[in-house]
Amino acid sequence: MKADFGFETKAIHAGARPEAVTGARVTPIFQTSSYVFDDAEAAASLFNLHNFGHIYSRLSNPTVAVLEERIAALEGGRAAVAAASGHAAQFLAFFTLLEPGDVFLASRNLYGGTLTQFGLSFKKLGWTCRFVDQSDPENFRRALTERCKAIFIESLANPGGIVGDLEAIAKIAQDAGIPLVVDNTLATPFLCRPMEWGADIICHSTTKFLAGHGNSLGGVVVESGRFNWANGKFPALAGPEPAYHGLDFFENFGDFAFTTKARAVALRDFGPALAPMNAFLTLTGIETLPLRMERHVANALAVARFLESQPKVAWVSYAGLDSSPYRAAAQKYLPRGAGAVFTFGLNGGYAAGIKLVESVRLFSHLANVGDTRSLILHPASTTHRQLTDEQRLAAGAGPEVVRLSVGLETAQDLIDDLAQALSAAE
């Protein structure tokens, strides 16, 4: 695979080659739990991480490996490790970065599930997340402490269509000697390439636009290969690892030490492996990612413009609109479009939001994004229910807010459906 092939070519070919035994052109679903060793010595060298090869599908699988290589290529990263879901990918990333007692900073503008994962469940592991208002990147610098080991943001924040200043935030992380971790789920590498702006690690929920058809969960962690783990802050990456006879991952694996450790320790010991069937569906989805994202963006813009013209709509927060305060940042970081997930507010508040989601016919009322089908959600009564009023407002999920994930149907049909649902929401 030539590194200078175009994005569309990589989306179809990166990581894949005709299967060696049968010549099958499409990557097969290697539906196997384990792999036969050549001999005892080969087995020992695999277990010692002296040689790379498949042992057991909790650690690696040939179908999953193609997906890992493909997403790493699309992000311009060095290597990747897949997981059973986006949340599992985030867990693998932070387990590899943090020790009990460590701290990391995260933007307040995050997917609701991530706010609870970071704010509540991670706390039980001894990891503290401090949430920061990302509208001023300097807020991250001000919140840094000695034990702070990472900064986490979403390139295009869910649910508000918010775009932060990636380059400035990456610079702050770099000055502090800590990695910038970016959740690139809603943008996908077709719209945004965080590593070109200084991100060190990327997480995805492949469940969304990468798989793209609402049929399989998955996640992935990608590393840039450029971070210096031997700066004294990351003994788990550059130091003896007790789980591997004192192996130093950074010394041995260099620019792919992070994902090797995430796989060899976190994935091995906690087990959220991606099923080969889901890897296959995600690979198939990625083949059409560029085409789908272009249409997602065009449809989202048409729907957003329609909503902006409606008297019952108080505001539309879509970074693709000229009215958006994130328009300039979107043009810089997402030059091909601001994605297809955004929110709008109804003058009628909470009650109008509920009425609208119950009145649509073509949009599906459900908690997902990044499907071929158009989806609608009222965050305050669903995904952001567990949060306090203050957290909901900070996350852009107030009572009047409705979230759309605009799909690939005929744009006019989507507009007609919203028009009839808005008039039903009297």
Ligand X SMILES: *Cc1c(COP(=O)(O)O)cnc(C)c1O
For binding to ligand X (CB under 6 A), which residues are involved? 85-87, 111, 113-114, 154, 158, 183, 185-186, 205, 207-208, 217, 219, 369
CA angle 384, 385, 386 (to 5 degrees): 95
Backbone dihedral angles phi then psi of residue 272, each to the nearest 5 degrees: -80, 65
Query: For 214, left (φ over 0), alpha (ψ -120 to 50), or beta?
Result: left
Burial of 323 (0-12, 13-18, 19+ CB in 10 A): exposed
Taking the least distance from each CB to ligand X, the nearer of 61 and 383 is 383
Quote the least distance from Cβ 84 to ligand X, whole Å. 8
CA nearest neighbour of 196 among 75, 63, 339, 19: 75
Quote the least distance from Cβ 208 to ligand X, whole Å. 5
How many whole angstroms separate alpha carbon 403 and alpha carbon 397?
Answer: 9
Quote the least distance from Cβ 89 to ligand X, whole Å. 8
Taking the least distance from each CB to ligand X, the nearer of 239 and 272 is 272
Quote the least distance from Cβ 157 to ligand X, whole Å. 8
Residue closest to ligand X (Cβ): 86
Taking the least distance from each CB to ligand X, the nearer of 37 and 270 is 270
CA angle 9, 12, 18 (to 5 degrees): 115
Quote the least distance from Cβ 127 to ligand X, whole Å. 17
Residue with tokens 């099958």: 24
Taking the least distance from each CB to ligand X, the nearer of 219 and 348 is 219
CB 81 within 8 A of CB 221: yes
Measured CA to CA in angstroms, residue 159 lies from 29, 111, 163, 341, 379 at distances of: 34, 7, 11, 7, 8
Long-range contacts of 118-121, Cβ-Cβ distance < 8 Å, separation of 24 or more: 118/152
Taking the least distance from each CB to ligand X, the nearer of 102 and 183 is 183
Residue with tokens 């807010």: 401
Quote the least distance from Cβ 203 to ligand X, whole Å. 7
Taking the least distance from each CB to ligand X, the nearer of 117 and 299 is 117
Quote the least distance from Cβ 166 to ligand X, whole Å. 15
Residue with tokens 């502090």: 176
Taking the least distance from each CB to ligand X, the nearer of 187 and 425 is 187
Quote the least distance from Cβ 9 to ligand X, whole Å. 27
Please give the structure tokens belonging to residue 219. 């996640």
Taking the least distance from each CB to ligand X, the nearer of 193 and 233 is 193
SS3 category, 248: strand
Taking the least distance from each CB to ligand X, the nearer of 111 and 229 is 111
Buried/exposed code over 281-306 (b: 16+ C-beta within 10 A; e: otherwise): bbbbbbbbbbebbebbbbbbbebbeb
Quote the least distance from Cβ 96 to ligand X, whole Å. 17
Task: Give the number of other CB atoms < 10 A from CB of residue 410.
Answer: 10
Q: How many residues does the chain have?
A: 426
Backbone dihedral angles phi then psi of residue 152, each to the nearest 5 degrees: -125, 130
How many whole angstroms separate alpha carbon 206 and alpha carbon 185?
Answer: 7
Taking the least distance from each CB to ligand X, the nearer of 85 and 107 is 85
